[in-house]
């Protein structure tokens, strides 16, 4: 694999980041980290969407400029992703000067080649969706189905993109590439939407929407959100209509673009059409994840259940975000909705990270110190009955990631941890030591520690800090590529001393950790 380019949706900066934003960024970061274990050139793009009427109105209500509002809120997103160890390559803002310039050139190119035309239009416009809605898509009460608000009637002369021109080509691409839309069951939904597709407005009159990118040669029009926002995936790489950069040539097309299911239409219909019009290859996969509910209820400001992504870390007094990352990533099967609750979070991470994985490493190293002063002797090396399952798990995890089944891959790693725990219970090294079968005891411990190196490598994308602590105690190089992993990872000689054995994850209700009490 020569390169791997992945993107998230860019978040609208009309408000602060919430747990739904965090879910998407964590998923994408885990995919990115996994692929760094398989290739050397991984490029991970995220960022913020900063134009439009909502920004304009919110800024006006606050008595600040739209750019000041964007600067303030974009930083909140950056701070949140830093707190969650989201290790992106680039953070793009659609107010970046180079992005705005390239968007103007893209718009101008499509206009000159006849894919964009000017047209007077009257339609139902939803500010929340940032698009015109078809009357048949509204609820019985005439509301937007996503925002439950009545769209306003807007009459303007705008520029339109000939989306209908590309309808058949998009349908053919989806049918010819059944893995283009992930999960696959969403493809029919997109094809049904394509049946009634119409040309789309790609500009707004400046008299209505002033905060946007100017159309070259037309002082009365602002480039409308979708050409602006969607183009970030190529402008970030240095795409230009005349002379694309080497970076663009190296990384495009994207291997996967991670988005929420609510914006699938724009990414699987509008975006492919724009790319076809620009004569550019389409992304290989569009991954549409589900929503995160809170205690089985949809997040809503009116319900007061919108959770900021860092509040969980603060309320449980977590030193690093690994537990939250693991929980979120394994909260829902590929493309399905997930749920967050404090009780489930605590129960799950205690069971998987503290009781199963962390305790397995801790007690195995403790026995190595107790019985052998932390030394691995040559006679402890032999055939490992866990090797087949451990090496097989690597391949299963890779296959899950190839299908973007992040939760499923996480559960496979947990299964390997459970099998290793069972092996310890079945072989009972403490009994072997009591019976003075020291070589057999040492072999069991080293067999477990060899597998723990593989577990550390596999869990790294989910829990980079825990994996790093595990690798340090195992003297294992976490930079080892997955294809280079073997079942023989522990070196002979002194491995660890008693004072160097530390729990990699304390239970959330541990008195030592004092993490059960919520901060007041």
Catalytic residue check, 352:
no
Plot region of 355 (φ>0 → left; ψ -120 to 50 → alpha; else → beta): alpha
Q: Which residues pair with 44 in a beta bridge?
A: 6
Is 173 marked active-site? no
Phi-psi region of 11 (alpha: psi -120 to 50; beta: other; left: phi over 0): beta
Specify the length of the chain in residues: 520
Global pTM exceeds 0.85: yes
In the residue annotation, 131 being an active-site residue is answered as no
**Strand-pair category, 152-161 with 200-201:** antiparallel
User: What sign does the dihedral 260-264-266-270 (CA atoms) show?
Assistant: positive
What are the pLDDT tens digits along the chain (520 aa)? 799 999 999 999 998 899 999 999 999 999 999 999 999 999 999 999 999 999 999 999 999 999 999 999 999 999 999 999 999 999 999 999 999 999 999 999 999 999 999 988 788 888 777 777 888 878 888 898 877 888 888 888 899 999 999 999 999 999 999 999 999 999 999 999 999 899 999 999 998 889 999 999 999 999 988 999 999 999 999 999 999 999 999 999 999 999 999 999 999 999 999 999 999 999 999 999 999 988 877 766 656 667 888 899 999 999 999 999 999 999 999 999 999 999 999 999 999 999 999 999 999 999 999 999 999 999 999 999 999 999 999 999 999 999 999 999 999 999 999 999 999 999 999 999 999 999 999 999 999 999 999 999 999 999 999 999 999 999 999 999 999 999 999 999 999 999 999 999 988 875 444 433 333 3
Catalytic site residue 481? no
CA 418 – CA 69 distance, rounded (Å):
49
| Dihedral of alpha carbons 139, 141, 143, 149, sign | negative
> Which of the residues 34, 99, 126, 463 is marked catalytic?
126
Q: Catalytic residue among 21, 265, 346, 515, which?
A: 21
- Going by DSSP bridges, is the β-strand pair 286-289/256-260 parallel, antiparallel, or unpaired? parallel
Catalytic residue among 62, 298, 422, 481: 298
Whether 298 is a known active-site residue: answer yes
Residue 39 CB neighbours (<10 A):
12
**Domains of the chain in sequence order:** 4-294 (3.40.50.620), 323-500 (1.10.730.10)
Handedness of CA 107, 132, 92, 51 (dihedral sign): positive
* Residue 125 bridge partners (DSSP): 132, 152
The catalytic position among 25, 78, 129, 400 is 129
On the 0-12 / 13-18 / 19+ scale of CB atoms within 10 A, 451 is buried
- Please indicate whether residue 129 is annotated as part of the active site: yes
CB of 335 closer than 8 Å to CB of 182: yes
147 is catalytic: yes
Among residues 51, 70, 131, 144, which one is catalytic?
A: 144
Query: What does the DSSP assignment read for 234-255?
Result: HHTTT--SSS--HHHHHHPSPS
């Amino acid at each position: 694999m020569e390169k791997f380019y992945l993107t998230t949706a860019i978040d609208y900066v009309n408000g602060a980041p919430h747990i739904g934003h965090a879910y998407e960024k964590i998923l994408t970061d885990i995919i990115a980290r996994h692929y760094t274990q398989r290739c050397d050139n991984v490029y991970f793009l995220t960022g913020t969407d900063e134009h439009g009427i909502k920004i304009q109105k919110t800024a006006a209500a606050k008595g600040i400029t739209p750019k000041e509002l964007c600067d303030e809120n974009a930083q909140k997103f950056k701070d949140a992703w830093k707190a969650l160890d989201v290790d992106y390559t680039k953070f793009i803002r659609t107010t970046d000067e180079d992005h705005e310039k390239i968007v103007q050139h893209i718009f101008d190119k499509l206009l000159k080649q006849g894919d964009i035309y000017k047209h007077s239009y009257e339609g139902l416009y939803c500010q929340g969706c940032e698009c015109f809605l078809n009357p048949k898509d509204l609820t019985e009460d005439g509301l937007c189905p996503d925002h439950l608000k009545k769209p306003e009637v807007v009459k303007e002369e705008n520029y339109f993109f000939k989306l209908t021109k590309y309808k058949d080509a998009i349908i053919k691409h989806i049918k010819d590439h059944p893995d283009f839309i992930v999960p696959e069951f969403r493809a029919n939904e997109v094809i049904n939407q394509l049946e009634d597709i119409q040309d789309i407005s790609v500009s707004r009159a400046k008299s209505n929407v002033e905060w946007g990118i100017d159309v070259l040669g037309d002082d009365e029009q602002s480039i409308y959100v979708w050409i602006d926002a969607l183009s970030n995936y190529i402008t970030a790489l240095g795409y230009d209509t005349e002379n694309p950069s080497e970076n663009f040539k190296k990384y495009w097309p994207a291997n996967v673009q991670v988005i929420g299911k609510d914006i699938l239409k724009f990414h699987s219909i509008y975006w492919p059409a724009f790319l076809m019009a620009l004569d550019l290859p389409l992304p290989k996969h569009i991954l549409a994840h589900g929503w995160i509910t809170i205690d089985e209820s949809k997040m809503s400001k009116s319900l007061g259940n919108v959770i900021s992504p860092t509040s969980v870390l603060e309320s449980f007094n977590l030193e690093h975000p690994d537990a939250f990352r693991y929980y979120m990533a394994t909260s829902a099967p590929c493309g399905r909705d997930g749920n967050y609750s404090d009780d489930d979070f605590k129960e799950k991470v205690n069971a998987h990270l503290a009781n199963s994985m962390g305790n397995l490493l801790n007690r195995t190293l403790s026995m190595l110190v107790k019985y052998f002063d932390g030394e691995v002797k040559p006679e402890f090396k032999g055939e490992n009955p866990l090797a087949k399952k451990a090496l097989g798990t690597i391949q299963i995890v890779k296959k899950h990631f190839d299908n973007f089944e992040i939760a499923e891959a996480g559960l496979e790693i947990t299964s390997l941890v459970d099998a290793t725990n069972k092996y310890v219970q079945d072989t009972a090294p403490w009994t072997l030591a009591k019976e003075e079968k020291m070589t057999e005891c040492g072999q069991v411990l080293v067999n477990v520690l060899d597998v723990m190196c593989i577990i550390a490598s596999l869990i790294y994308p989910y829990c980079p800090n825990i994996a790093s602590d595990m690798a340090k105690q195992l003297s294992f190089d976490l930079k080892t590529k997955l294809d280079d992993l073997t079942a023989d990872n522990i070196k002979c000689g002194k491995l660890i001393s008693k004072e160097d054995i530390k729990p990699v994850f304390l239970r959330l209700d541990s008195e030592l950790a004092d993490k059960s009490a919520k901060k007041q």
